[in-house]
A and B are shown apart, each in its own frame.
Chain A
Amino acid sequence: MKLKCFGIAKDIVHSSIIDIEAQNIATVADLKTYLNTQYPSFKQYAAYQIAVNQALANDHQKISAEDELAIIPPVSGG
């Protein structure tokens, strides 16, 4: 399961894309639990969201390795 990382998320994971083991990750909530465990620094920063196929997803949304997944920290363009 590949995950695009932007902004502070890229700094936390030290990569613009990470490949994680998809076992036991069926929903956005599962993915967040994995990330918060694997990278505790996420807890120190403002809440992030997960984009599934370029749309922000809620925690209940089901995900698979075929989806385009991304960590979306609080945006700050403009």
Chain B
Amino acid sequence: MKQNINIQIVNKPLSIDQCYDFIVDQSCGGICLFIGTVRNHNKGAEVSHLNFESYTSMALKEMELIASECIEKFQAKKVAIHHKEGMANISDIAVIIGVSCIHRKQAFEACEYAIDQLKSRVTIWKKEHLSDGSYWINARP
């Protein structure tokens, strides 16, 4: 992995401080952190918790590629992408994207790009547990 990229998929609580400490850079005036958390409802149903599963080796490669794209497209200095695996309770952190850039505009853009790409490309799956059953998101007919 490149020195300016930090990618993790872990079955333990994610650390905002760890992401921040990695991306902070003396040449940067803008740091953008996106923190995705588990909400207690979806489409009108009450959610009790989530489970994340990943094809970890493939997912790590794709996350690293997305981080590299942030550096190429938005001149990001450092990028951290951390994702939770296993069970996640309401309000737990599911994902953290951290990007440092010279200016804020690029930091915002890179951060949004990274989370959008992660959601559409990375081999991670989310199972939602409701009061009346559990479902893999995006898998229903």
Contact = CB atoms under 8 A, between A and B. Distances in A.
Contact of B125 (A4, A45, A54, A77): A77
Interface of A: 4, 6-8, 10-11, 44-46, 51, 54-55, 70, 72-78
Contacts of B120: 75
Contacts of A7: 53, 125, 127, 136, 139
Interface of B: 36, 52-55, 57-59, 61, 83, 94-95, 115, 118-127, 136-141
- CB-based closest 4 A-B pairs: A77-B124, A7-B125, A8-B139, A76-B137
Contacts, number: 79
A75 B138 contact: yes
Nearest to B141: A44
Given A4-B55, A74-B138, A76-B126, 13 more contacts: A7-B53, A7-B125, A7-B136, A46-B140, A54-B57, A70-B55, A73-B136, A75-B121, A75-B122, A76-B137, A77-B95, A78-B115, A78-B124
Given A45-B139, A75-B125, A75-B138, A51 B58 contact: yes
B136 A76 contact: yes
Contacts of A10: 53
A4 to B, nearest CB: 7
Given A76-B125, A76-B126, A46 B138 contact: yes
A77 B83 contact: yes
Contacts of A44: 141
